[in-house]
Amino acid sequence: MTLFRLLLYAAAAVLVFVLATSYTIRFLLLDEQTVTCPELTGLDVEEARTLASQKGLPLAVAKYEKRKDVAYNRVVLQKPDAGVPVRPGRTVTVILADGPMMAVIPAFVGLSLEAAKAALQQQAMKLKKAIYVPGGEPDRVLAQVPESGENILDPDGVVLIVGSRAKRFYVMPEVAPGQYAAALKEMDLKSIKHVEVSLGRPEGAGAAAVKTSVPPRAIFREDEGLELQTGGGGQRGGGQQ
């Protein structure tokens, strides 16, 4: 029984010591002045240094990290983390991005493609790609990547989204010799690209035969480019059909 009491007294003493120490530490920490570590991630290093100094916290750069999605000299990581209570004078360590430089990118939206190209050339920027989409005014810039303003500029240049008229499709009719002139007029009205090739007509022959590069009743696109051959008694491009 005596041994049990000794063990019990020892355990109680340890518990009292632990509780007393815990409360003492808490009291000291609460009593000491602290500041909240600010959010520095995404800021330029000088902006981050100014914000940290306003809290009485010096800033130290640990290293640079290769990044393609974060601009050069921007904070990508900080220790202590944002929102953590720290003592004034505590050094905040940051990792900076070794990424691309920021650039002031003009607004190209609303310009014609030619005007946008001229503006790019004036700013010594490249046109990476022009992507045509149905809708909007044809050859007018609808969107751009990156957006205008201060942004990361892709080394390959700017992507422009350009409006275009929706492509139209037609069914190729049979063009009879007597309907050739009317067919040409209709193609011109519909802006169908075509080229006429005359293969000549034997002396004394009747109306010229008409052959098309797209078979009758086949579907073709307006900008596909038709070849219409007349005459030649069945000749096509100098060979036999």
User: Matching CATH topology for 36-100 and 103-164?
Assistant: yes
Assign domain 36-100 to its CATH architecture: 2-Layer Sandwich (3.30)
d(CA 202, CA 196): 18
Q: Which residue ranges make up each domain of the chain?
A: 1-32, 36-100, 103-164, 169-240
Mean pLDDT over all residues of the chain? Answer: 83
Residue 89 main-chain phi, psi, to 5 deg: 95, -10
**Which class would CATH give 169-240?**
alpha beta
Rounded to two decimals, the pTM is 0.47
CA angle 152, 155, 159 (to 5 degrees): 75
pLDDT digits (tens, 9 = 90+) for 193-230: 888 888 765 544 445 578 888 898 899 888 888 888 88
User: Under CATH, what is the fold of the domain 103-164?
Assistant: Trypsin Inhibitor V; Chain A (3.30.10)
pLDDT tens readout for residues 15-65: 666 666 665 555 555 546 899 999 999 999 999 999 999 999 999 999 999
Read off the pLDDT of residues 164-200 as tens digits, 9 standing for 90 and up.
987 888 898 888 877 888 888 888 888 888 888 887 6
**Closest by CA position to 144, among listed 162, 123, 170:** 162
